[in-house]
């Protein structure tokens, strides 16, 4: 966006304004679209952080139950922990892919 402002201002403004926008609304629309483009990476980071925290909370909650559980449930808890660890790894891989794709789209 900085490059577009510096070297290609006309083309940048064309992409910020939808076709058929009344002339009175153009400054407001440009302001809203500029703010939206600047906030996108922040919302992406918040979503990524929330997904990471959710996975860690599940593992932490399951681990905190282990000392209180009877010995009979230990194999079940261990199996659940292994499944959650694999799920968290899968989610991390998917989140890395989504983060990379969206940052590429947002920066383009």
Q: What is the pLDDT of residues 27-41, one digit of tens each?
A: 888 888 888 888 888
Q: Which residue has the tokens 């600047």?
A: 38
Q: What is the pLDDT of residues 50-85, one digit of tens each?
A: 888 888 888 888 788 777 778 888 888 889 889 988
Q: What is the dihedral of CA 44, 46, 47, 49, to 10 degrees?
A: 120
Q: Please calculate the CA angle 43-47-51 and round it to the nearest 5 degrees.
A: 170
Q: Cα–Cα distance between 49 and 78 in angstroms, integer?
A: 26
Q: Say if residues 50 and 39 touch (Cβ distance below 8 Å).
A: no
Strand ranges (E), the chain:
none
Backbone angles phi and psi of 21, in degrees to 5: -75, 130
């Amino acid at each position: 966006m900085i490059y577009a402002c510096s070297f290609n201002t006309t083309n940048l403004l064309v992409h910020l304004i939808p076709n058929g926008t009344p002339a009175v609304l153009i400054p407001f629309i440009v302001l809203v679209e500029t703010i939206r483009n600047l906030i996108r990476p922040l919302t992406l980071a918040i979503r990524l952080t929330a997904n990471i925290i959710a996975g860690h909370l599940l593992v932490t909650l399951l681990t905190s139950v282990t000392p209180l559980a009877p010995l009979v449930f230990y194999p079940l808890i261990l199996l659940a922990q292994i499944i959650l660890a694999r799920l968290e790894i899968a989610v991390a891989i998917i989140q890395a892919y989504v983060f990379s794709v969206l940052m590429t789209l947002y920066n383009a």
